[in-house]
Amino acid sequence: MLKDNLLMIEKAAQKLRDGAVIAYPTEAVYGLGCDPGNEASVRRILRLKSRPVEAGLILIADRFERFAPYVAKVPDRWLQRAMAVWPGPVTWLFPRGPGTPDWLAGDHPTIALRVTAHAVAGELCARFGGALVSTSANPRSQAPARTPAEVEAYFGNAIEGIVEGSLGTSGKPSEIRDLASGRIARKG
């Protein structure tokens, strides 16, 4: 299936570089994504979801190095904790780097990061060439979209496209853990 989607993924990656907001499949649900360095696009996602900026957002990537602009240096043992379960459906709260804007991390001293194991989401990050904002494709208090039709029903023409693909095998959103302590901040 991934080979069938490569052209569509390349087109989606170009749209992201141009400032678009798109939807794409992840481990459990469809996600809304954009270039985390594009403040206007990030704020658009927040408006579409009726999500307060203070809440912060998750970033995904196909490999850890793509998060470099957003994270502070951490002890090797902390990084090993995350790498032991990545790629996979665990999101870790890393200390945010000094240049990480509030419109990404909210009012938190951390930034939520996940190295995705989902083939389509990972390929999208690779073709985009960086990390992506990744938040469930649904307005606040609505169920997350699990199909392109549900994404369309929620957002219609308010987003620039949907990358089709199968969802991963996880039945629920990713678990969120604190990197420093290893404690669960949100159960998946």
Other Cβ atoms less than 10 A from the Cβ of 73: the count is: 9
Is this structure's pTM higher than 0.85? yes
- Give the long-range contacts of residues 34-41, CB within 8 A, separation 24 or more: 34/132, 34/133, 35/128, 35/130, 35/132, 35/133, 36/70, 36/104, 36/130, 36/131, 36/132, 36/133, 37/69, 37/130, 39/101, 39/103, 41/133
From first to last of its 188 residues, what are the pLDDT tens digits of the chain?
A: 444 444 599 999 999 999 999 999 999 999 999 999 999 999 999 999 999 999 999 999 999 999 999 999 999 999 999 999 999 989 999 999 999 999 999 999 999 999 999 999 999 999 999 999 999 999 999 999 999 999 999 999 999 999 999 998 876 667 899 999 989 887 65
